Amino acid sequence: MTVPAQPTPPLLNREQAILEFNRRVLAQAQREDVPLLERLRYICIVSSNLDEFFEVRFADMLDAARDPDSQVSNRDIERVAREAHLLIDEQYAIFNEHVMTRLRDQRIVVLNHADRNDAQRLWVAKFFEREVRPLLVPVGLDPAHPFPQVANKSLHFIARLSGKDAFGRDNRIAIVKVPRVLPRVIKLPAVISEGRQAFVLLTSVIRAHLEELFPGRTVEAFSQFRVTRDSDLEVDEEEIANLRHALRSGLTTRHFGRAVRLEVVNTCPEELSRFLLEQFDLPPAALYRVNGPVNLVRLNELIDQTEADELRFLPHEPVWPQGRLPRGKSMFDRLAKGDVMLHHPFESFEPVVQLLREAVEDPDVLAIKQTVYRTGSKSELMDLLIEAARRGKEVMVVVELKARFDEEANINWAERLEAVGAQVVYGIVGYKTHAKLLLITRREGKPGGKTTLRRYAHLSTGNYNPKTARLYTDIGYMSADPDLTADADMVFRQLASLGKFKTPKRLLVAPFNMHSRMVEHLAQVEAAARAGQTARVVVKINALTDAELIAALLKTAQAGARIDLIVRGACMLPPGLPGISDNIVIRSVVGRFLEHSRIAYFRWGSSESDEALYLSSADWMSRNMFRRIEVAWPVLDAKLRQRVIDEGLVPYLHDSLDAWQLGPDGHSTLVSGAGHSGQQAETGRSAQQAEIRHGGQQAEIRHSAQQALMRLFSPS
């Protein structure tokens, strides 16, 4: 019987989906089972996320609305802006009414000028004179002193002054820049803190002494303000000769892109906020009045300075998988026996560093190739690559210069690598290199006898960044499989030579065959469902926005296949629509660590050959599938495939503590109320907490392969 295809429903708005993800993150700040300083950290994370949202996503949306051929309308922009206003208002309400009041109960206080006693005010006054005032340059506005250049996200004060200036002129508006080099949170000495941990904000220090900057005049009104600008680096890659030089030049102007958002405190007089909007050429809807400090991101400094370990998560130290990867043994000898999987941050990233370190020190290693996307300004891995080049090994590094907000660090690494003779390429014009690959070529054989070249590879769903490897959930995969490593070598050669190569045997590579293979697998599952056979899809990704993949998922579900999607962030597929998407359940897990691994599982029959499981660096977004270099690789080892299911899929489908379920209207609801009740939190199941307890060695409930597989087919 042929099941008639249903029409594709209107997709959810991507920008609203991003805001909905941040609403889920913000909910962490209300959870009774989350330590208090960590709750403040989630508030800071939301502020950081929203900064990037306005700098990139919302700025792109504004650009699209100007294009007559675009489907983005002014009504869409108004709707997204309205949602952003509501979210930010909610964020400050939680900050003031929930987190800061609880911190005061713990004798951790942020003191405004009115709250400070005489001794504290004297200390603040001396601090202002010694540390702050010498760096302040107030600018009174007049024709010779126009409104200053205001960099992206830099904090300023605007003041309205009474009287006339020293030259008898009636210039009433002045601007004071808050120096970035100064700490935004200052801890008061214990001797004047009255038995508490007391802090003052830099803005409060300046505000208390603002009038001293304008001798002979009175500050009638003032406000903090901060402007967010379009910060996407745009270069015409077809018209430039050297991408690195062009981006280095572009970094100097990035901070002065078109303004998209203006933040002021909620007490800012209408006259001043209107003046600022005019200066930045912004409509009233771009004004965000906040009930608290402008830029909550910098309150991370308060978290770092507070001495209260009991208000933080218990320390988590990733374990070295000793049973599968004995310390002190050769990594090459171990990989020659079979593949190794690492589940970060539950398992240590150090084996990856050790693999590269051993390659650098081994005289039989001839060549090392690696991709670099986000590795950080300090990186042992990059230092090792530099050392390898110094030792005369062939080192090739594909540095993605357009990794957003990491451009400068990557440019610096590229220059250092080139200085020691490493071959550095920047990928392919028009495509970001997002694939995570490390390839080592080693000469093996008996001395004086016949030798061969053997390759060893590391592939990952996440970045080569040991710092974020402690904060993000990712899966790393080490292998000496000849076909897999040959495919990896082909990717590197293509990135360098731009030549055409044969279709890889193991790897799927975007923009060539990854998207089509995912669609093919969904078609296989669809056909199995129509034939009444086992039909199952489970996908864990960070974002789902590609229209063709969404259409294929809907078609597969309408044929009767059961589909579970674990989508951390933006998801445009509306689940749960009767007859259209009611076979699709979409979850998002927000816990201690940022979910970052990408896993795709397909089942289209009852035999072992009727399934496929891939790990990948790519999300199901058009940009990943068609405008980036990405890789996905099948997990062919049965035990490792089962381990991915046990640790990367099953626990998330049964999470009752950190999981949210997406509704057809694009709004999420907690799977259970566990996250907001201490009693329920003790009994709820958390995928991340289970892995922490078992150190990445065991799933929360260990079971045979068949039992684990059945849990993929049992109700969530």
Q: What is the pLDDT of residues 112-139, one digit of tens each?
A: 999 999 999 999 999 999 999 999 989 8
pLDDT score recorded for residue 239: 46
- Give the bridge partners for 445, in sequence order: 451
Contact 554, 574 (CB under 8 A): no
User: Is residue 299 pLDDT above 90, yes or no?
Assistant: yes
Angle of the 74-94 helix axis to the 14-27 helix axis, nearest 10: 10
DSSP annotation string for 12-34: PPHHHHHHHHHHHHHHGGG-TTS
- Residue 73: its pLDDT value, please? 84
pLDDT in tens, 539-567: 999 999 999 999 999 999 999 999 999 99
Q: How confident is the model at residue 473 (pLDDT cuts 50, 70, 90)?
A: very high
Q: Provide the whole-model pTM.
A: 0.91
Catalytic residues, by residue number, are 434
Cα-trace Rg, the chain? 28
- Identify the structural domains of the chain with CATH numbers, from first to last: 14-30+36-311 (3.30.1840.10), 331-504 (3.30.870.10), 509-713 (3.30.870.10)
- Smallest Cα–Cα separation from 15: which of 87, 77, 108? 77
pLDDT, tens digit (0-9, with 9 covering 90-100), for 185-233 = 999 999 999 999 999 999 999 999 999 999 888 899 999 999 999 977 5
CB atoms within 10 A of CB 121: 15
CB neighbours of residue 704 within 10 Å: 9
Per-residue burial over 282-303, b if 16 or more Cβ lie within 10 Å, else e, is beeebbbbbebbbbbbbbbbbb
pLDDT above 80 for 25: yes
Instruction: Please give the Cα distance from 208 to 195 (Å, whole number).
Output: 24
Residue 456 vs residues 332, 334, 619: alpha-carbon distances, Å: 8, 11, 25
Q: What is the DSSP string of 53-74?
A: IIIIIIHHHHHHHT-TT-S--H
Confidence category of residue 700, pLDDT binned at 50, 70, 90 = very low
The pLDDT confidence band at residue 423, using thresholds 50, 70 and 90, is very high
Question: What stretches of 177-288 show up as alpha helix (H) in DSSP?
Answer: 202-208, 243-251, 270-279
The candidate with the shortest Cα–Cα distance to 152, out of 263, 74, 57, is 263
Model confidence pLDDT, tens digit, residues 447-461: 777 889 999 999 999
Token pair 């991408």 in the structure block, residue: 243
CA distance 480 to 132: 58
Calculate ∠ Cα 592-563-345, nearest 5°. Answer: 25
Whole-number Å distance between alpha carbons of 517 and 514: 5
Give pLDDT tens digits for 653-699.
Answer: 999 999 999 999 999 999 975 444 444 445 678 999 999 987 645 43
Q: Give me the mean pLDDT over the 174-180 stretch.
A: 94
Bridge partners (DSSP) listed for residue 342: 476
